[in-house]
Amino acid sequence: MYKQVNLFQKPHEILSNMEEGYCEMKANEHAFLCGLMQEKKPEKVLEVGVAGGGTTAVIMKCLEYVNPDAKMYSVDINKECYRRKGKQTGYQLEEVKEYLANYANHKFLLGGVLPKFIEDIGVGIDFCVLDTTHKIPGELLDFLCVFPYLSDGAVIVLHDVAHNLLGNSIITYATKILLDSVTATKYYEFRNEISNIGAFAINRETKENIANVFSSLSITWAYEPRLVEMLAYRDCYKKFYDEECMELFDIFWEKNRCKLTGK
């Protein structure tokens, strides 16, 4: 059922040119991500969840090898790096720009959730990395937002699909729920040390079964995004999804909101 990825190690080396090799993905996870990029040679890449930008730089380096004209967009809710106070989110990309011939093809979109930026990014996204909260609703909301903007066969990479088993938190399973609820061609090396990263390529059946992803929003939410953000996601969904999907969204948002607020 799960497809294998030929690992591509080299792009990860760009981290050695940074002041500090801070990055939340490991070398073998980058090799998985870059192996998929080498296979797909994407034209338009979207990353959601940036932190210092270590992975941003690895992806740009990989694009330089596999498709130097490709464009990349990186979205993060925080303008300031959430783990390096005083530094801008993505600051590490700037540190290595002289090593990236394609540096001008990259754009940061900071300080908001994906619905704020998705129309400007536009359709034709063929490679997307989701790596944000890992807590429900987290990446489920972002996938449902980006899905209508993906091109046929687009690949979605999900980090921390085993975080609940490997990390300190037991509720960080949003990317795993997405991987399991979507109908798609899946890449998941669950037997070995890269079991913490997975991916899927959308196919003809993804759209007809998309209600399953909306339905997974019934799983208990760990937090509720701000109302303005939830309404932005809802507006985005309303443009593309049918009544049943919208009902699933509204019902499970309301039930989870009541549960979280105790009202």
Could you list the residues that contact ligand SAM (CB under 6 A)? Answer: 23-25, 48-51, 54-55, 75-78, 82, 89, 113, 131-133
Task: Between 169 and 220, name the residue whose CB sits nearer to ligand SAM.
Answer: 169
Using CA atoms, how far apart are residues 117 and 10, in angstroms rounded to an integer? 31
Instruction: Kindly write down the DSSP assignment for every residue of 85-152, as one continuous string.
Output: TTSBTTHHHHHTGGG-TTGGGEEEEESS-HHHHHHHH-S-EEEEEE-S--SSSHHHHHHHHHGGGEEE
Q: By C-beta, is 51 or 128 nearer to ligand SAM? A: 51
Residue closer to ligand SAM (CB basis): 126 or 142:
142
Supply angle C-alpha 235, 125, 196, rounded to 5. 95
Please state the closest distance from residue 11 (CB atom) to ligand SAM, in A.
13
| Closer residue to ligand SAM (CB): 42 or 49 | 49
CB of 49 to ligand SAM, least distance (A): 3
- The CA-atom distances, in angstroms, between 204 and each of 150, 180, 184, 213 are 12, 17, 8, 15
CB of 210 to ligand SAM, least distance (A): 20
CB 236 within 8 A of CB 118: yes
CB of 223 to ligand SAM, least distance (A): 10
Say if CB 96 and CB 14 are below 8 A apart: yes
Which CB sits closer to ligand SAM, 111 or 185? 111
In the complex, the smallest distance separating the C-beta of residue 143 from ligand SAM, rounded to whole angstroms, is 12
